């Protein structure tokens, strides 16, 4: 989602020790440290690795194998072909009375060796099977014989009842693409947006790069791909996120929304109690690995590494580089209300507090009349400040108010009890949704702790929202947690008739602990500067949210098209109508088919997409010609998306090459130019991953409305979208108010118009368009010049 903004500002002339222009560490040292970090992560997960490392076998399979060997010996058979006797000879001789014990130990050792060899064979076989990506290239709705055979073999080797991390050892590593292919794909992607002269210059730089630097840089990446878990992901986290010095607010963090049309209870404390309880239930399942791994096609597992840092995680600012601090456990949440901070315990000696007990604690905070201390109210604005400013201020804060700071940074997550309502209102639905999105993305600049892995926001009317820090994971992971939370707190935990959490209060519980901050005078100026910058950034952010309900995923499926590609082509048409020209378009795609994979960029503004858009704007072009061009554009987009998912994208490879060139002090003008590009349109689809949790047919209003992120470029747009059920698509658009070139509401109108125009290329879509606009048949057939029904 928001990683495009960070990638644009990426300046890789840095090493892991924080030195800037003077680079003392070699690229080999960087590769060594990447591998070291990978192995440290594996060692820290030793126990989980032990439990899941034997998958698809199980510890019981060892007992079965040992028992079978003992039974064979009882029947005077030797399945080891003499190896057990060899092992027995190597064991110490403890005397005649222990002869039988030596035999049992020898059999156990042989069973363990055989069991380990079988597990290793299963892992290797499964990894080889999971390295096959031919299924991605299959036409929609069709499956070749090799793919059917592959699916059957994966089913055989995958085992049963996998845990969250069961497949981690079997996932293949992300491949390093051919540098020639990457450069060719890059040149193809920029051709539609460059003039002939600019393209010739870029092509010349590319050829020079291939001739002079590419082979050396590629060699180092190949070396890293063999040594580290992933050749790009750790550098992506470090250089794009943790070394960024920009404010996290709007620039990096993103938000997730509540149900759009319903609020299960208007009682703020009750909604907070159920939501916090549901989140901690999710954490409990996460710790026990009871969350099922995500499977594509119900069979192909995705990497689960990002789940590890959902809870108990804080991004700690540094002068040159931030770092992620993750605790194994935390038994409290930090709460902000009316400028005051509280520590709320989440567990009693008997276990997790009930939703009603948590509601009681939150209500005590809401009823607390004590005022905020001077400057305490705006303290959290420091987390929205540029990272260097916050890092310097945090050093002072830690020395004077270390206990309070630790209570916030060491919390499971942060909770903000807002004093204002939010969400859709009947009086002004459009403005209320826009205000809701803005409150989640930016708030007031001082009422979120942006460093926490996520902040749960509970508004005064019971509406919920989430503000998520981006460096630790990508949107699908936090989205998975959010879907579970909404479904659990609403459908499983539920509320009483009067809107309170079910159960009884626990009056004997200690009251929430008020945190006290000793704020020295020299930090007051930092808070004032941070608050001023946060308010300026917040005031300059224009958010627009609208549900498009004329058609949805079901209509697109009936057209036998990819729903994501359909939307992407409509966005190209809408943006062209808004700005009058084409631009580089960033669409986020996941690479979690590989171990520790994160994202890749799909460059959606293709030559085929531009041809389609020009045809739509040309009155001389017939509908059948436009439809043919549209299908070509969709097919091209699908090819790019599948290439990105299978590790054959463009941008992460070029990014890693750029990092190596900087570490080697090697001038590469082509790579410098690539990473100076501006993404004026950044897009992302919010996936719905757990459809079994929501009954969209009987309860269509109880569906998450997705989330959004800030604009990538000062003169660009950020657009995300989610398919709510079968017949609604919700769009989240952001831009800068200070730009004279962008307007979120204007683009929203163009998007709705473009969707209807594209749909009208199909016979069923023509009826939808007439029904929306109330036009006569002849006028409805005219795609160009119709007013948007926004």
Q: 3-class SS at 570?
A: helix
Which residues face 599 on adjacent strands? 590
| Per-residue three-class SS string for 29-68 | HHHHHHHHHHHHHHHHCHHHHHHHHCCCCCHHHHHHHHHH
Tally of CA atoms within 13 A in the half-sphere of 42 that contains its CB: 13
Q: 3-class SS at 153?
A: helix
Which residues face 736 on adjacent strands? 541
CA atoms of 84 and 89, how far apart (whole Å): 9
How large is the angle between the packed helices 145-158 and 99-130, nearest 10 degrees?
150
Q: What is the DSSP string of 576-637?
A: HHHHSS---EEEEEE-TTSTT--EEEEE---HHHHHHHHHHH-TTS-HHHHHHHHHHHHHHH
DSSP state of 161: S
Q: Over the Cα atoms of the chain, what is R_g? A: 28
Q: What is the DSSP string of 635-687?
A: HHHHHHHHHHHTT--SHHHHHHHHHHHHHTT---HHHHHHTT---SEEEEE--
Contact between residue 698 and residue 662 where contact means Cβ atoms under 8 Å apart: no
Phi, psi of 335 (to 5 degrees): -125, 135
Strand 254-257 relative to strand 464-468, pairing: antiparallel
Tally of CA atoms within 13 A in the half-sphere of 633 that contains its CB: 31
DSSP state of 240: I
Which residues carry out catalysis?
470
């Amino acid at each position: 989602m928001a990683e495009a903004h960070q990638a644009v500002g990426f300046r890789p002339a840095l090493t892991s020790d924080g030195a800037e222009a003077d680079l003392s560490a070699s690229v080999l040292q960087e590769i060594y440290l990447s591998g070291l970090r990978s192995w440290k992560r594996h060692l820290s997960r030793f126990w989980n690795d032990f439990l899941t490392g034997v998958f698809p076998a199980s510890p019981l399979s060892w007992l079965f194998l040992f028992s079978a060997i003992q039974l064979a010996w009882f029947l005077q058979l030797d399945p080891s072909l003499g190896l057990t006797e060899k092992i027995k000879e190597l064991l110490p001789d403890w005397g005649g009375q222990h002869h039988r014990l030596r035999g049992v130990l020898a059999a156990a050792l042989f069973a363990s060796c055989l069991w380990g060899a079988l597990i290793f064979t299963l892992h290797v076989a499964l990894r080889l099977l999971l390295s096959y990506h031919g299924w991605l290239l299959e036409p929609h709705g069709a499956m070749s014989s090799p793919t059917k055979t592959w699916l059957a073999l994966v089913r055989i080797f995958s085992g049963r009842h996998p845990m969250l991390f069961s497949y981690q050892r079997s996932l293949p590593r992300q491949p390093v693409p051919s540098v020639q292919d990457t450069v060719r794909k890059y040149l193809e992607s920029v051709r539609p947006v460059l003039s002939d002269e600019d393209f010739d210059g870029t092509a010349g730089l590319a050829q020079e790069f291939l001739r002079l630097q590419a082979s050396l840089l590629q060699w180092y990446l190949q070396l890293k791909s063999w040594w580290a878990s992933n050749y790009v992901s750790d550098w992506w986290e470090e250089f794009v996120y943790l070394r960024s010095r920009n404010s996290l607010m709007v620039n990096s963090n993103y938000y997730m929304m509540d149900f759009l049309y319903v609020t299960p209870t208007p009682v703020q404390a009750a909604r907070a109690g159920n939501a916090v309880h549901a989140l901690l239930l999710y954490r409990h399942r996460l710790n026990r690995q009871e969350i099922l791994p995500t499977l594509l096609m119900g069979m192909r597992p995705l990497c689960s590494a990002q789940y590890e840092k959902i809870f108990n995680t804080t991004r700690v600012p540094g002068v040159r580089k931030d770092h992620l601090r993750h605790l194994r456990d935390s038994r409290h949440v930090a709460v902000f209300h009316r400028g005051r901070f509280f520590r709320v315990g989440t567990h009693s000696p008997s276990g997790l507090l009930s939703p009603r007990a948590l509601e009681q604690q939150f209500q005590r905070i809401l009823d607390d009349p004590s005022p905020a201390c001077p400057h305490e109210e705006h303290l959290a604005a420091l987390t929205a400040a540029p990272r260097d400013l916050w890092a310097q201020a945090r050093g002072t804060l830690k020395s004077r108010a270390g206990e309070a700071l630790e209570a916030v940074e060491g919390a499971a997550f942060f909770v903000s009890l807002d004093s204002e309502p939010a969400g859709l209102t009947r009086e002004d639905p459009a403005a209320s949704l826009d205000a809701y999105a803005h409150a989640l993305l930016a708030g007031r600049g001082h009422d979120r702790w942006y460093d926490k892995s996520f902040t749960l926001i509970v508004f005064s009317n019971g509406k919920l929202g989430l503000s998520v820090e981006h460096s630790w994971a990508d949107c699908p992971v936090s989205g998975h947690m959010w879907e579970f939370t909404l479904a659990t707190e609403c459908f499983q935990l539920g509320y009483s008739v009067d809107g309170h959490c079910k159960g009884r209060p626990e009056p004997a519980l200690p009251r929430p602990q008020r945190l006290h901050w000793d704020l020295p005078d020299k930090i007051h100026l930092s808070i004032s500067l941070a608050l001023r910058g946060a308010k300026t950034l917040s005031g300059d952010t224009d958010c627009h949210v609208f549900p498009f309900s004329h058609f949805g995923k079901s209509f697109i499926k009936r057209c036998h098209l990819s729903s994501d590609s359909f939307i992407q082509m409509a966005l190209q048409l809408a943006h062209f109508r808004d700005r009058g020209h084409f631009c580089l378009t960033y669409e986020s795609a996941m690479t979690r088919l590989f171990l520790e994979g994160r994202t890749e960029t799909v460059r959606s503004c293709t030559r085929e997409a531009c041809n389609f858009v020009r045809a739509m704007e040309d009155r001389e072009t017939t509908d059948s010609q436009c439809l043919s061009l549209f299908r070509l554009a969709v097919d091209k987009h699908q090819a790019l998306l599948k290439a990105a998912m299978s590790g054959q994208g463009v941008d992460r490879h070029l990014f890693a090459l750029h990092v190596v060139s900087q570490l080697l002090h090697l001038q590469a003008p082509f790579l410098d130019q690539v990473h100076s590009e501006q993404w004026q349109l950044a897009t992302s689809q919010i996936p719905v991953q757990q459809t079994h949790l929501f009954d969209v047919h009987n309860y269509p209003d109880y569906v998450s409305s997705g989330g959004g992120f800030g604009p990538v470029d000062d003169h660009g747009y950020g657009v995300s979208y989610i398919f709510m059920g079968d017949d609604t698509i919700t769009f989240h658009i952001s831009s800068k108010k200070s730009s004279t070139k962008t307007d979120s509401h204007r683009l929203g109108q163009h998007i709705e118009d473009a969707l209807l125009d594209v749909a009208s290329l199909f016979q069923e879509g023509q009826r939808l368009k007439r029904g929306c606009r109330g036009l006569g048949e002849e006028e409805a057939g005219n795609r160009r010049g119709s007013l948007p029904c926004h």
